[in-house]
Amino acid sequence: MSPELQMYLAQGIHGLAYGMLLFLVASGLTLIFGMMGILNIAHASFFMLSAYLCVTVLNATGSYWLSLFLAPLGVALLGVLVERFMLRRAQASGLGHIAELLLTLGIALVMAEAIKLTWGTEGLQVMAPRSLAGLVNIGGLEYPIYRLFIIGLSLVVLAVLSLVLYRTRLGTIVRAAVSDPDMVSVLGVNTRRVFMLVFGLGTWMAGVAGVAAAPILTVFPGLADQMGMDAFVVVVVGGFGSLFGALVAALFLGELNAYGIQFIPKLSPVLMFAFMALVLAFKPTGLFGDRE
Amino acid sequence: MFFRASNLNTYYGLIHALQNISLNVERGEIVSLLGRNGMGKSTTLKSIMGLAPPQSGVIEFQGQSIFQAPCHKVARAGVGLVPQERRIFPHLTVEENLLMGVKAGCAPPKDLEPWSLKRVYKHFNSLERRSRNKGFQLSGGEQQMLAMGRALMGNPLLLLVDEPSEGLAPLLVREVRDVLLQVNQAGVSILLVEHNLKVAMSLAHRCYLLGKGFVAFEGSMAQLQARPDIMAKYLEVS
């Protein structure tokens, strides 16, 4: 392979890895929005918290695999508690979506400050586990195994998510509730319990992404803002409530980001937003959504 | 008393949508709610179902209070709703839509033959052919049949049906009418909101006529027909 082709390939895989991470975060965001009508501003904070928990578990036990198991679980538990004891009350307040928006914004701010108090403001480095630390030769290109692992891990989560959504009764309920939660409760389903589960599932996926991303990003208090903005763009471009849309948009924006950095580094930070504006100009509901 | 609602008061913000509405349904009856648009017919059904919870009043179903009960509890007590806009799940297949109607962990009433996919398909022939299609691919008539089939899958004892003939061609209106009659003969009581007076007349045993949020008249269909003055005042002339 020519060096030029190798560069294209490397950026392509880079983009794929980032796109899959984006999908893990954005899918929870879009599911929660579709079902509960809540734009969860704190969603990426769960992603960030998981990365920090990963640091702590890693320091305590030295096992990356244990932190991959524990950190997302802890974050999901927190997510379930937030839904059960805070969001539910905000929704019952009768103030409409503004109450939920303010609540999740507040949670995001509190989590950011709590993280600074606990872990400090310095950037922390996480090492990939030794078994995944090396390089692999792809047609002459030496490529880090860890990024391939991110892609594989995300694919496994995607497969499990699809199985649950398309092969179980719970999944049918979730897909129905994404378009019309009231009608689902008219049919005798306690949708509050389903909301809690989906909130937990969404934050768990954000948590998996947080641990997966920790070794390739610096773990610092601004992590949530960066990921949150990108995931928001993915949800808007893919269409609110559309999982398939989120997947397509995440992969596309991942690649756009990777090649953008390579070829027009000065413009790359605005490329995503320019693309979002372009999509919205022609299709206000996003690529695969039916809501404005 | 099989079903009784009395002195229901429901507000939408500052609008007093239902003002002391009282009505009842006996076992096996078809009762129709009549009145012009915006008089509170749909709101009455939504209030019973728990979608627009009333602020005050009494709602009892089979001797059990379902006043201000959450929607899913009302459903699990044995009340089904066929909503006005049909509200089919657009991205689910016809079969998945029907299966959504099953109330998991809820035993069907003893004295009624339970509904199954097979039984629904027998009553709604057009749905079987479409079982793998997505909800959004159905015509208006098919969506109406699906909405009814979905509600029946939950084995309701009382079915609230909101404007089933709205927007349908005359042939389909007759089909909807026939199905409702069969469902009723199978033992399901029906509270029907219907603006097509001919359909309501041919189905219902009794009716309640709503003015702006209150019951203006109640009685048998024959009693209503004997009062052209009331019909002129509270119904569309058509």
Q: Which of B90, B96, B104 sits opposite A179 (nearest CB)?
A: B90
SS (H, E, C) A80-121: HHHHHHHHHHHHHCCCCHHHHHHHHHHHHHHHHHHHHHHHCC
Q: Give the CATH number, domain containing residue A134.
A: 1.10.3470
Number of structural domains, chain A? 1
In a domain, A125, yes or no: yes
Q: Is the pLDDT of residue B104 over 70?
A: yes
Question: How many Cβ atoms are within 10 Å of A105's Cβ, its own excluded?
Answer: 14
In a domain, A291, yes or no: no
Q: Which domain holds residue A264?
A: 3-282
Report d(CA B183, CA B173) in Å as an integer. Answer: 15
**B152/chain A closest Cα distance in angstroms:** 10
Contact B83 A190 (CB under 8 A): no
Residues of B with CB under 8 A from a CB of A: 49, 51, 70-72, 75-76, 81, 83, 87, 89-92, 96-97, 99-101, 103-104, 106, 150-151, 154
Mind listing the pLDDT tens digit for each residue in A157-209? 999 999 999 999 999 999 999 889 999 999 999 999 999 999 999 999 999 99
For an interface test with A, the pick among B49, B71, B92 (most A C-beta atoms closer than 10 Å) comes out as: B71
- According to DSSP, residue A241 is labeled T
Cα of B73 vs its chain's centroid, Å: 17
ipTM field: 0.93
Q: Does A93 touch chain B (CB under 8 A)?
A: no
Residues of chain A whose pLDDT is less than 50? none
Share of chain B above pLDDT 70, in %: 99
Contacts of A173 in chain B (CB under 8 A): 100
In a domain, A86, yes or no: yes
- Per-residue buried b or exposed e for B87-117, using 16+ beta carbons within 10 Å of the residue's own CB: bbbbbbbbbbbbbbbbbeeeeeeeeeeebeb
Report d(CA B130, CA B124) in Å as an integer. Answer: 11
Contacts of B99 in chain A (CB under 8 A): 169, 172
In a domain, A290, yes or no: no
Which residue segments constitute the domains of chain B, with CATH numbers given?
3-234 (3.40.50.300)
Residue of B nearest to A179 (CA): B89
Task: Give me the DSSP letters along B153-175.
Answer: TT--SEEEEE-TTTT--HHHHHH
In a domain, A142, yes or no: yes
| Beta carbon pairs, A and B, within 8 Å | 58
Residue B60: predicted pLDDT: 96
- According to DSSP, residue A130 is labeled G
In a domain, A65, yes or no: yes
Residue A112: predicted pLDDT: 96
In a domain, A159, yes or no: yes
Q: What is the pTM of this model?
A: 0.88
In a domain, A274, yes or no: yes
Task: Tell how strand B3-12 and strand B56-61 pair up.
Answer: antiparallel
Mind listing the pLDDT tens digit for each residue in A39-57? 899 999 999 999 999 999 9
Q: Does A51 touch chain B (CB under 8 A)?
A: no
